[in-house]
Amino acid sequence: MSGRLNTTLRTLLMAALAAATLVSLGSTAAADEVQWNRNKGDCEFVLKAPDRYPIDSINECTILWEQYKDVKGLSPDERSLFARGFSWLFVYGKGEQKSIAKGALGRIGKPRPLCLVENTWRDPNIGQSCTTGGADSAEAIERPLPPVTPKRPSRGALAKAKRLTKQGLGLHKRKRYAAAVDKYEQALSSDPFHVKAKYNLACALALLGDANGSIQALRELQSWDSGEARGKFSKARSDKDFEPIHSNARFRRLVGLVRIQLLNGAGEPGLFHVGRIHKSLTSRNFYIAQYGFDRHTRTRPLIYYRKGYEAQAQMAKEIVANIRTATLEIQWDSPFDLIIVWGDPDVAARAGVSGPIVQGEEVKNKGNAAKDFVDKFNDAKDTATDLKDTATEAPPLP
C-alpha cells in the first residue's frame, strides 16, 4: 500500500513539475512576444519586403527578431514571408550578418535562402526553382560596400570641412549645383567622413542629373558605421532633391523608394485623417509624390498598390487604422507605387450623390473645387503644411 502511495505521489509530483515547466515556457514565450511588439517598429514590413529597404535596416530587424520573436505559432505562409528578409541578408550581408541570417532561417525551418526572380519570391525549400534572370532578380542588386569606421579628423580639418559645407549649401540653395559640388568635394578632402558634405554632394549630383555619381555617394555614406550617416541615408528616401533620379532602378532599390499618392475622398471631415496619415508616413521617410483630394466621394479608405509592394500596402493599412480599408492591386499604368485614399460612409451618406464632391457638396467647377480644398486644408489645424495644389482621383472601387 505504502509503495503504491509513493508511486502515486511521485507521478503527481512529476506531472506538477511538467505543468510548471510548460507554464514557465509559455510565460517566457509570451514575454518575448511582448518585447518583440514593443521593439519591432516597422520590422515586420522590412523583413517581408527587404528589396525595398537598406541592408542595415534588415540586419537590425533580424537581430531584434532573433532576440525577441517566438516562432512556434507562425504559420507556413508567415514563415515564408519573414524568410524573405533573412534570405536577403544572407545573400547580401557580410560576415556576422550572414551568420545571423542563417540562424534566423534555420529557426523557421528554411535552411536554404529564398530568391527573388522577376519580382516574385521563390522558395527552394519547397521545390521552387531559383534560376534567375532579368533586371529584377536578386542577383542584379548591388551588394552594399564593406562597412567603414569613420576616422575623427583634427579640429582644424573639421572646422574647414564645416566652413566649406556651409558655403556649398549656400550655393545649393541658389541652385548653383555644380559650384556646390565643388565645395562639398573640397570639404570631403579636408574631412573624408563629413556626413553633411557627403549627403549634400549626393543631393547636388542628383539635381545635376548625375545618377551614377549620386548613387555612389549614397552607397559610400551607407557604408559608414555611424548613427548620423544612417540617419542621413534614410532621409534620401523622401528628399525631393533626388526626384530627378527617381526613375533610376539602382536608386530605387538602394534607398527603398516608394512613390505614394495620398488623397482625401471624404471632404472636410477627412482633413484630420489625411493629415494624420501624412504625418505618420513622413516620420518613416516615405516619399509622398502627390497630395490632394479625390474627385470622388469614398465610402471607405482604399489602398491601391503596385505588384511587389504588398508589404508596404499592409503597412499603409495599419497606418490608416480603419477596419473598412480595402487593398487592391494597381491594374493600370500609374506613376505611383501606393495610392492611399481616405473615405467615410457618413460623408457619402450626407452627400447623397455618387459623383464627385468637395467638402460634402457637389462639384460645380472642378478648378474652383481644387482651390477651395487647398484653402480649407491650409486652414485646418494639426495637418501637414506642404499640400500641393492638385486635383486628382484614384479609380473607382471595382
Q: Which three cell numbers stand for residue 153?
A: 579628423
Mean pLDDT in residue range 283-312: 88
Least Cα distance to 224 among 233, 215, 237 occurs for 233
**136 or 259: which leads in pLDDT:** 259
Yes or no: say if 201 and 185 are a contact pair by the CB < 8 Å rule: yes
Residue type, 291: Y
Residue 78 pLDDT > 60: yes
Residue 223 pLDDT > 70: yes
Yes or no: say if 108 and 82 are a contact pair by the CB < 8 Å rule: yes
Q: What is the pLDDT of residue 339?
A: 95
Q: Of all helices (H) and strands (E), which one includes residue 6? A: helix 2-39
Helix (H, G, I), strand (E, B) or coil at 246: coil
**3-state percent breakdown (helix, strand, coil) of the chain, nearest 5:** 55, 10, 35
Q: Could you read off the pLDDT of 15-58 as tens digits, one per residue?
A: 555 555 444 445 555 666 788 888 888 888 889 888 777 778 88
pLDDT bracket for residue 375 (50, 70, 90):
very low
Residue 132 pLDDT > 90: no
Q: What is the pLDDT of residue 22?
A: 45
Q: What is the pLDDT of residue 62?
A: 94
Residue 282 pLDDT > 70: yes
Residue 140 pLDDT > 80: no
Q: Could you read off the pLDDT of 176-187 as tens digits, one per residue?
A: 999 999 999 999
Residue 392 pLDDT > 60: no
* Lowest pLDDT segment from 30-34, 239-243, 369-373: 369-373
What percent of the chain shows pLDDT beyond 70?
Answer: 76
Phi, psi of 300 (to 5 degrees): -160, 160
Residue with cell 517566457: 28
Q: Could you read off the pLDDT of 353-366 as tens digits, one per residue?
A: 444 333 333 333 34
Residue 139 pLDDT > 90: no
* Most confident stretch, 10-24, 56-70, 187-201, 363-377: 187-201
Name the pTM for this structure.
Answer: 0.66
**What's the burial of 331, exposed, middle or buried (CB within 10 Å: 0-12/13-18/19+)?**
exposed
Least Cα distance to 84 among 57, 51, 106, 43 occurs for 51
Looking at residue 146, the DSSP 8-state letter turns out to be: P
What percent of the chain shows pLDDT beyond 90?
Answer: 39
Yes or no: say if 344 and 83 are a contact pair by the CB < 8 Å rule: no
Q: What is the pLDDT of residue 201?
A: 97
Euclidean distance between the first and final Cα of the chain, in Å? Answer: 77
Residue 70 pLDDT > 50: yes
Domain boundaries, the chain: 43-140, 155-251, 258-392
Q: Which three cell numbers stand for residue 183?
A: 565645395
Residue 1 pLDDT > 80: no
Looking at residue 224, the DSSP 8-state letter turns out to be: B
How many CA atoms, within 13 angstroms, populate the side-chain half-sphere of residue 340?
31
Residue 349 pLDDT > 70: yes
Q: Of all helices (H) and strands (E), which one includes residue 56? A: helix 55-68
Q: Return the CATH fold of 155-251.
A: 1.25.40
Domain 258-392 class in CATH? alpha beta
| Cα(87)–Cα(4) distance, integer angstroms | 56
Q: 375 vs 14, 243, 282, CA distance in Å? A: 74, 26, 22
Average pLDDT, the chain: 80
**What's the burial of 328, exposed, middle or buried (CB within 10 Å: 0-12/13-18/19+)?**
middle
Q: Which residues contact 179 (CB under 8 A, 6 or more apart)?
A: 168, 171
pLDDT bracket for residue 333 (50, 70, 90):
confident
Residue 144 pLDDT > 80: no
Q: What is the pLDDT of residue 394?
A: 53
